Amino acid sequence: MLTHFIGGLPVAVGKAFPVHDPVTGALARQVHEADPEIVDRAVRAAREAARDWAALPVGERAGWMRRLAEGIEARFDDLVAAEIADTGKPLDQTRTLDIPRGIANFRAFADIAAQRPDDAFHLSGLLSYTVRRPLGVVAVIVPWNLPFLLMTWKLAPALVAGNTVVVKPSEQTPGSAAVFAEICADAGLPPGVVNIIFGYGSAGQLLVEHPGVDAVTFTGSTRTGSAIMRTVADRVTPISFELGGKNAGVIFEDCDLDRAVEGTVKSVFTNGGQVCLCTERLYVHRSIFEEFCARLAVRAQEIEPQPMISAEHREKVLSYYALARSEGAKVLTGGSVPVFGDHRDSGYFVEPTVVTGLSEWSRFNREEIFGPVCHVAPFDSEAEAIDLANGSDYGLAATVWTTSLDRAHRVAQRLEAGLVWVNTWYLRDLRTPFGGVKLSGIGREGGTRSLDFYSEPTTITIKLEQPDA
């Protein structure tokens, strides 16, 4: 049974809750559920550790981040196994993306923090400079789609900036966080610097409303994000949110069609479409629309389906497939549940699906589905494509496929999204600002933006007396 990790120790308190294997639907593990007392213990442990951790020179904290990266390398196979057990992700993706990004996150933020200069401003007779202080205890609330990647993406900058943390992974994906707790303990990380509690959204709610929490970082749905905002509003707690997306892909007639099809296959279907950056709305120039649709549909049929995270999430995705049919969409491929004839038939799979013919105002084209599915629509001009792509309440990511350099810049700069990839998708430089506009989030993390969020500057201004001439 998985236990909480508080003050450097496993804590086996709380009733058990089940985690199911998405591939088969079978019970995979039991986990202790945090109650109010456990949440309080975790926040107190983090507060007790906060002063000494913040007092360490940044170079020493960076050294701890590098030791954690080494710990992840040493437990690589255990982390891969834990992540796959909870999510049903493909082995190859887990080995090349999810777990390596944990290592990269700790190394990148160690380097960025250790090398970061402080600000200094000189103005006749005045010298001002800033010192940055950590916020204190950060609540880190992690979703189920990229559990280890996103936990470490938040932990590394929060810790290196001098904060202590209480992490609440998704109830569906506690496994890699439990292995990470062992890595922290084995590395000898000071007790209380990292605390991990397990439970449902109710445990997350207890955590963010705890008065000992100084900041909240969250990746997940817009609905949960706005509930957290309401909870912390009275205490004016700093928040950093990366929320939902309804990301557009714009495919111009001058694109390299092979690259555009393959890149779009990745951007729609990676992780079963369960990445907030996945493309769900495609706009394709009318002159290549039929060919693009046909090729995308063929490639979608070749994809190995990946399970949805839960039976409930599968029902949600299937409800959009039904909606598309009820509104008269043309289903180019998929639209149903695959039949394997083996143990996977009791898992949470849906078919990779491509549809056309729906109105831009359909809920199918306006709401985040978070499954292996996209809608494809034609456009006639660059201006129309930009309007269509921007016609969303969300603004996280977009892709543009063109061989024209001018067009690439022109269009990318007019798209209302925090992230635009041109002729590629989800290639990351961890130093860049990362986050969304509109309903897709508040704030940016990444590089020094993360360190800015996880610390606050104090400006010190000194009047310099001028010697008499």
- Rounded to 5 degrees, φ, ψ at 372 are -80, 70
Tell me which residue of 304, 271, 297, 301 sits closest to 282, measured CA to CA: 297
Instruction: Compute how many other C-beta atoms are within 10 angstroms of the C-beta atom of residue 389.
Output: 26
Q: For residue 460, give both structure tokens.
A: 């010190």
Of 92 and 429, which CB lies nearer to ligand 6OD in the complex structure? 429
Query: Which positions lie near ligand 6OD, rule CB under 6 A?
Result: 145-146, 150, 153, 219, 242, 275-277, 428, 434
Between 297 and 439, name the residue whose CB sits nearer to ligand 6OD.
439
Q: ∠ CA(78), CA(80), CA(86), 5° rounding?
A: 100
Question: 3 or 271: whose CB is closer to ligand 6OD?
Answer: 271
CB atoms within 10 A of CB 439: 19
Whose CA is closest to 376, among 447, 254, 282? Answer: 282
Identified catalytic residue from 242, 368, 416, 445 = 242
Tell me which residue has its CB nearest to ligand 6OD. 276
Query: Cβ of residue 275: shortest distance to ligand 6OD, in angstroms?
Result: 4
SS3 288: helix
Amino acid at 38: I
CA end-to-end distance (rounded Å), the chain: 77
Q: How far is the CB of 426 from ligand 6OD (least distance, A)?
A: 7
DSSP assignment letter at 2? B
Shortest Å, Cβ 204 to ligand 6OD: 17
Q: Which is nearer to ligand 6OD, 243 or 261 (CB)?
A: 243
Whichever of 146 and 317 has its CB closer to ligand 6OD, that residue is 146
User: What is the smallest separation between the CB atom of 431 and ligand 6OD, expressed in angstroms?
Assistant: 11
Q: What are the structure tokens assigned to 203, written together? A: 């445990």
Two tokens, residue 449: 């933006």
In the bound complex, what is the minimum distance in angstroms from residue 281's beta carbon to ligand 6OD?
A: 17
- Which residues share a beta bridge with 239? 216
**Cβ-contact 235, 399 below 8 angstroms:** no
**In the annotation, is 33 catalytic?**
no
Alpha-carbon gap, residue 4 to 8, rounded angstroms: 10
Closest distance between ligand 6OD and the C-beta of residue 370, in Å? Answer: 9
- The residue (of 214 and 242) whose beta carbon lies closer to ligand 6OD is 242
**In terms of CB distance, is 292 or 434 closer to ligand 6OD?**
434
Residue 110 and residue 94: Cα distance in Å, rounded? 23
CB 426 within 8 A of CB 263: no
Contact (CB, 8 A) for 290 and 325: no
Q: What's the min distance (Å) between Cβ of 112 and ligand 6OD? A: 14
Q: H or E segment at 27? A: strand 27-32
- Residue 213: burial class (beta carbons within 10 Å; 0-12, 13-18, 19+): buried
- Minimum CB distance to ligand 6OD smaller for 102 or for 352: 102
Name the phi and psi angles at 94, rounded to 5.
-65, -40
Question: Pairing mode, if any, of strands 397-401 and 247-251?
Answer: parallel
| CB 368, min distance to ligand 6OD, A | 11
DSSP codes joined into one string, 412-440: HHHS-SSEEEESSSS---TTS-B--EETT
> Residues with catalytic annotation?
242
